[in-house]
Structure 1
Amino acid sequence: MPADRSYVFLDVDGVLIPFAARATGRSPSSHRAAHLDAIGNPLLERVDPQDGRRLLALDCQLVWATTWMAEANDVVAPLLGLPELPVVPWPDSDDEPPRGVHWKTPFLTGWAAGRTFVWLDDEITDLDRHWVSAHHPGKALLHRVDPHLGLTDADFSTVGQWLAVDGGKAASM
């Protein structure tokens, strides 16, 4: 992976598994249905395999940034057709971020170590954007996904366009 390739940090719940059912207009394949039955989590039927293809088409390094941790590779990645991805290991520390800043924000910023990144999550706020702008020397796009819809065409368009501008070297958003 080139060192200048942007990270895209992926949350799972609310991003890849929307809180509302998606109208896909297709029934799952027998292989997918058997896999979902074996896992026993009925919300996983909301995972859209198209999201995996679209994520792989982005010019980036995909990284799990979810409390699913390594289980995202075992359970979610196969449903999306994704290879095993790096996983951000969350700290066991009780350090609290500044009031209103998401607990993931300082840690993801540190993990990126100055590299350009996109963070896809359903809990991002303007306070997170301001914190990253003040503490991250690289460029960053903190993109909030509507948790009831999960990733949409508009989300993919926004992220794809941002990454395409000098490899994500556009102004921090």
Structure 2
Amino acid sequence: MRPLLLLDVDGPLNPFAAKADAKPAGFHEHKFRLAGWSRRRPLRMWLNPGHGRALLDAAGSAELVWATTWEHKANTMIGPAIGLPVLPVIEFGQTGTEWKFAAVARYARGRPLVWLDDDFDMYTKARDEFLSARTGLMSELVRVDPHTGITQAELAAVRACLG
């Protein structure tokens, strides 16, 4: 069964926690106007144009999938900025105490997965239940520091899991 490589935006691709004067190397500023965001100022994001190719290479034969609350906007705004093609999207709708885990479990349906995100420790009970339900399946949660975004270390972890 073809494994999944799940990808979040804020944290992994947009190191939002980095200080404004300490933008990580290789990242470029982008400004997006979003419905529901302040009309006076656009949303500032830092994105690394090399991440698209690096993620496609690291994924190998795995299916790369958006696992972000940006949902379909990731394909129209983020993907083009970093050189990713249109990818499948996990739809989360309203998340509660289960955070993203319930939607990911439904989408993955028994497929092995590697997941890049910065928030795995937000809901530890839901995370632990998610992992327990996937016993026997590769379920690698690769935490990305939101101060740095995806680095060579996380890409190496993805390759090691999927290789």
SS across alignment from 1:114: coil
Q: Deviations over 1:3-52 (max 9, x none)?
A: x221111110011000222222x8x6xxxx8xx46754322xx2111111
Alignment gaps of 5+ in structure 2: 34-41
CA distance in 2, matches of 1:38, 1:67: 15
More helix by share: 1
One-letter identity of the residue aligned with 1:149: T
TM normalised by structure 1 equals 0.75
SS across alignment from 1:110: helix
One-letter identity of the residue aligned with 1:84: V
Equivalence map 1:34-113=2 (5 Å)? 36=30, 40-43=42-45, 46-57=46-57, 58-59=59-60, 60-92=62-94, 96-97=97-98, 103-113=99-109
Which aligned runs of 4 or more in structure 1 are off by greater than 6 angstroms? none
Q: RMSD of the alignment, in Å?
A: 2.2
Alignment gaps of 5+ in structure 1: 98-102, 165-173
Q: 1:135 to 1:38 in 2, by over 3 A?
A: closer
SS across alignment from 2:50: helix
More strand by share: 2
What percentage of residue pairs aligned between the two structures are identical? 37
Kindly tell me the number of residue pairs found equivalent between the two proteins: 145
One-letter identity of the residue aligned with 1:12: V
Partner of 1:169: none
Q: 1:154 to 1:38 in 2, by over 3 A?
A: closer
How much does 1:79 deviate?
0.8
